[in-house]
Amino acid sequence: MEKWLASNLERMAEELSPCRDCPVANTVRDVNLPGTEAVIDVLEKLMGVLYPGCHGKGPVSHDHCHHHLKGTIQQIAEELYDQTHRSFEYACNKVKCIACGDCEQKAKQAVTALLEGLPAIREMLQEDIKAAYEGDPAARSTMEIVMSYPGLYAITVHRIAHALYQQGVHLIPRVMSEHAHSKTGIDIHPGATIGPGFFIDHGTGVVIGETCTIGRRVKLYQGVTLGALSFAKDDTGALVKGVKRHPAVEDNVIIYAGATILGGDTVIGHDSVIGGNVWLIHSVPPGSKVYNQAPSPVIKSV
């Protein structure tokens, strides 16, 4: 191995060097984006603000909680501004526009909007926690939900990511949502709009698309897909972006495990129940109960 390295190391480094315009290299000169870990670190700080002492190694000091929150919020503001500024500049440079200071202003606006919106996000999360506690007979306390339920973790990350997404920040929310996806098995695009009182029970395998809208007090079980039926293409064959592709789910709907609901024109009317493993590509009126006919299992004696 040493002989091979002596003969080939310089050549390999030259061929793989980002100085040769590697399309996936994040260098200061070219892309200049924050690393994934930096984004996740800010996300975990935001989780610490929304749930102080719950996702770390122990409780925070009660007497110093206010001071601790002030310090954390300041760190979030500084670090997230830097990341957001870089993200806007990256998108800006892709279209070769000039440095005009607009990215700086947009970054300040986006971070300010998120921080100002944290109290409202926490209020929505309180409704999510209540929905989980009331909707799961296995839950013994609300703190059990806060500290261990993957569904609450996923929706918390989504509410943070969605706030940034609404301000035109796209890359950082995607990193956040995919981090939650990797931890929970729940894939929620940051563009999806989700009302309060949302509960995902068990969670693994849930997919919620970018243009999906979900009302208040909706409950999903594992394996549910709220996805696109097809992808429109333009005259060149490229995918058309920015159109509604995913369904709308109105208030007080329950969707059981394995159900698949597809299409931007599909609306699940309020107070409906969608049974397990149902496949839907069209709307159903309010108060519907949709289910498959029960299978007839064949049981043979040994």
Question: 72: how many CB neighbours lie within 10 A of its CB?
Answer: 16
How does pLDDT run across 252-300, given as a tens digit for each residue? 999 999 999 999 999 999 999 999 999 999 999 999 999 998 888 899 9
- pLDDT tens column, 73-88: 999 999 999 999 999 9
Q: What pLDDT does residue 98 have?
A: 59
> Which of these CATH numbers, 3.90.79.10, 3.20.10.10, 3.40.50.300, 2.160.10.10, describes 205-293?
2.160.10.10
What are the two backbone dihedrals, phi and then psi, of residue 213, each rounded to the nearest 5 degrees?
-120, 130
pLDDT of 24 over the 90 cut: no
pLDDT digits (tens, 9 = 90+) for 206-232: 999 999 999 999 999 999 999 999 777
pLDDT of amino acid 20: 64
289 by DSSP, 3-state: which?
strand
Q: Are β-strands 219-220 and 199-200 bridged in parallel, bridged antiparallel, or unpaired?
A: parallel
For residues 160-177, give the mean pLDDT.
97
On average, the pLDDT of the chain sits at 92
The three-class DSSP label of residue 152 is: helix
For residue range 227-247, list pLDDT tens digits in order: 999 777 777 777 777 789 999
Rounded to an integer, what is the distance from CA 140 to the centroid of its chain?
Answer: 27
Name the residue among 106, 101, 99 with its Cα closest to residue 84.
106
Percent of the chain exceeding pLDDT 70 equals 96
Tell me how far CA of residue 294 lies from CA of 225, 278, 291, in angstroms: 21, 12, 9
Q: CATH class for domain 26-185?
A: mainly alpha
Exposure string over 274-301, b if 16+ CB within 10 A, otherwise e: bbeebebeeebeeebebeeeeeeeeeee
* Range(s) of the chain covered by CATH 1.10.3130.10: 26-185
At residue 192, does pLDDT exceed 80?
yes
CATH 2.160.10.10 domain residues, the chain: 205-293
User: pTM of the full predicted structure?
Assistant: 0.91
* Alpha carbons 54 and 48: distance in angstroms, whole number: 7
